[in-house]
Amino acid sequence: MTPADLSRTVLHTVRRAVEADELRATVPARVSVRVPPRPGCGDYATNVALRLAKESGRPAREIAEVLRRRLAAEPGIARVDIAEPGFLNITVEGAVGGRIVAEVLGGTLRGEPYDLRPGPALVERLGSDAARWSLLCPPGLDRDLLLVQRESNPLFRVRYAHARTHALVRNARDLGFTADAAGESADECAGPLLAALADHARVGSTRAPERLARHLERTADAYLRWQADCPVLPRGDEKPSVVHRARLALAEATGKVLADGLHQLGITAPAHL
């Protein structure tokens, strides 16, 4: 069950609860589900009960319990828990991480680019890539920081993370193995990265370049932390395993998402940095 499938299932559950007069509220046009940033909170979470509570006047936990009973009976759902103040934490059958990675790798991203036009003076001082990113920076940020290749430069972190994904793919090829999205790395620290990948399509669809820039920063930071804790390549005499192939697929998917986001912002995504 993909995030899109689960979103439709939750929406269908809400509609059936309203039709059965268990809930008195307007059925929303869509329901969002997200990968929780921390392990132990299910595979996905949704705030639909909180949204319905505002309209119905009932406590969010009561609404969540109505939906929990119905969702738990749906095919493909292994468990549904309620978390304060009324979130539904959903565990699906099978490995969710591999499905997210496979969905990213198998999909077509390349969203339409924004029309970001920095002034000539800014382009001359920073270069075209940094000038475009500077238009999306929070107020008060020193724009000259974008010229420095260091961790404090958000644009550098995003492009460095993208380049690292390509380096891992090249090195894995030299070692004689490729990615396998069907595997499951079982890395607990991959939660924030998987959440960012699963959220990319939603963020891109908002057509808000500032939000996309912050999303790319979160994705890059989550990737760099995950990579530091979970080696993608075998070490020493170690042979490539299912875990290494699954981790390489996660790295490839991250590279694809970062490249797509930078493309939308009109910024180059170098494979070497």
Q: How many CB atoms lie within 10 A of CB 146?
A: 20
Q: How many CB atoms lie within 10 A of CB 12?
A: 15
Q: How many CB atoms lie within 10 A of CB 115?
A: 7
Q: Please say which residue of 61, 92, 123 terminates a domain.
A: 92
Is the domain of 100 the same as that of 87? no
Instruction: Tell me which residue of 267, 213, 215, 252 sits closest to 100, measured CA to CA.
Output: 252
State the residue for tokens 């960012």.
196
pLDDT one digit per residue (tens) for the chain, 273 residues: 667 788 889 999 999 999 999 998 899 998 888 877 666 778 889 999 999 998 888 999 999 999 999 999 988 888 999 998 999 999 887 667 787 888 888 887 777 889 899 999 999 999 999 999 999 988 777 888 888 888 889 999 999 999 999 999 999 999 999 998 876 655 767 878 888 888 888 888 888 999 999 999 999 999 999 999 999 999 888 999 999 999 999 999 999 999 999 999 999 999 998
Instruction: Tell me which residue of 144, 147, 173, 160 sits closest to 217, measured CA to CA.
Output: 160
CA 86, 91, 97, 100 torsion-angle sign: negative
CA 192, 209, 48, 32 torsion-angle sign: negative
Which domain CATH number covers 59? 3.30.1360.70
160-194 burial string, b = 16+ CB within 10 Å, else e? bbbbbbbbbbeebeeeebebbbebbbebeebbbbb
State the residue for tokens 């890539």.
129
Is the domain of 75 the same as that of 202? no
Which domain CATH number covers 248? 1.10.730.10
Q: Please say which residue of 92, 122, 149 terminates a domain.
A: 92
DSSP secondary-structure letter at 107? Answer: S
Is the domain of 53 the same as that of 120? no
- Give the per-residue pLDDT at 43: 80
Is the domain of 37 the same as that of 110? no
- Give the per-residue pLDDT at 220: 96
Q: Is the pTM of this model over 0.85?
A: no
- Give the per-residue pLDDT at 245: 93
- Give the per-residue pLDDT at 211: 93
Question: DSSP per residue over 117-137, as a string?
Answer: ---HHHHHHH-HHHHHHHTTS
> How far apart are alpha carbons 258 and 118 in whole angstroms?
22
Is the domain of 21 the same as that of 41? yes
> How far apart are alpha carbons 116 and 144 in whole angstroms?
19
Is the domain of 108 the same as that of 204? yes
Number of domains in the chain: 2
Q: Which domain holds residue 254?
A: 96-264
Residue 270 lies in a domain: no
Q: Please say which residue of 74, 92, 110 terminates a domain.
A: 92
- Give the per-residue pLDDT at 37: 67
Is the domain of 68 the same as that of 120? no
Residue 236 lies in a domain: yes
Is the domain of 167 the same as that of 248? yes
Query: Are 48 and 68 spatial neighbours (Cβ–Cβ below 8 Å)?
Result: no
Is the domain of 115 the same as that of 22? no
